[in-house]
Chain A
Amino acid sequence: MTSQLLVWCQWLEATGIGTAVRESSLLFPLVLGTHLLALGISVGTTAIWDLRLLGVTLKQEPVSEVMGQLLPWSMAGFAGMFISGALLFSSEATYVFDSPWFLLKIACLMLAGVNALVYHLTIERRIHEWDRQVRPPGAARLAGAMSLTLWTVVIIAGRTTAYSL
């Protein structure tokens, strides 16, 4: 399994795209810049939902109102982040494959996805009961705290991966 992944990373790194991003002095910062811009939009808007779920800000606004208006931005930002991230990954695949920080980053990204899914399938189903509460129920606050923590770890691990490059 591991060796198959490594072979795949080697192949990816040798592709035209991987080589172009790695070797171009303009392309790498451009793609990294896009990654950070998209991160700003995606994590920025997500952090506000999280703070609303925690009941610490935008207390007068219904939770569904905050989420509904910000969701398209979180999603668009995530798409930009994913595409630019895939390009960055392709340029340094074998190195990154070996980095424990990168594994931590991917693990936290997946956990953030699971957290959002669990929230969506459980406590959000009854959102009409607590939509206007200043302090949402414990399960919703837990989802907000988890999301905020996981995304912060994703940023820390991502930055450490790049720093040790």
Chain B
Amino acid sequence: MSRAALLPLFQWCDHTAIAIAIRESTWLFPFIQVFHLLGLTLLLGTTVVVDLRLMGCGLRRQPISRLALNLWPWMQRSLAVILGSGILLFVSEAMKCYGNDAFWFKMGALTLALAFHFTVFRATITADDTQVTPLRSRAAGVVSLLLWLSVGAGGAAIGFV
């Protein structure tokens, strides 16, 4: 799908009442950004610790499924906060994002990261530990960490390109 096909959607987002309200307010954007980054801190924490564990580092004395039982709900909560606040931040500068290559990179990485998170990653961490080969476990940890870091790097780059 070409970018241009999505242009009307970006334009519509840019003109919604909520987008205008966020743009016109001095404090709304940074206020929403605080939630976006707080959610990011929590997702980072839970994901990094589970990824490290999958790679055989960090909390090695705990079975993966026990970590998953504890941390999966926090991943879901932080994702909800990040996506909710992210959508608000996005609509307020939809047209700026449209022309920003880093934004498109971030969205591509995010799509892959979410797809991986809810399929392979979830299946690997919730499976009975004896059923998961070390290779699969390590690969899932490395891929998950790389995908989420790509999302973060893309997000950081939005301000620079």
Please, how many residues of chain B have a CB less than 8 angstroms from a CB on the other chain?
35
Q: Which residues of A contact B45 (CB under 8 A)?
A: 43-48, 50-51
Q: Which residues of A contact B46 (CB under 8 A)?
A: 44, 47-48, 57
Q: Chain B: interface secondary structure?
A: helix
Please, how many residues of chain A have a CB less than 8 angstroms from a CB on the other chain?
36
Docked complex: B14-43 residues within 8 A CB-CB of A: 30, 33-34, 37-38, 40-42
Docked complex: A68-106 residues within 8 A CB-CB of B: 69-70, 73
Inter-chain contact B156/A162, CB cutoff 8 Å: yes
Q: Please, which residue of chain B has its CB at the minimum distance from the CB of A164?
A: B159
Pick from B58, B59, B74, B153: contact of A51, CB below 8 A: B74
List the one stretch of B4-12, B62-70, B117-125, B135-143 in contact with chain A: B62-70
Docked complex Cα distance between A61 and B66 (Å): 10
Inter-chain contact B61/A47, CB cutoff 8 Å: no
- List chain B positions with a Cβ less than 8 A from chain A: 30, 33-34, 37-38, 40-42, 44-49, 52, 57-62, 66-67, 70-71, 74, 145, 148-149, 152-153, 156-157, 159-160
> What would 10 A/B residue contacts be, using CB atoms closer than 8 Å?
A43-B45, A44-B46, A44-B47, A45-B45, A46-B45, A51-B74, A59-B70, A60-B70, A156-B37, A163-B159
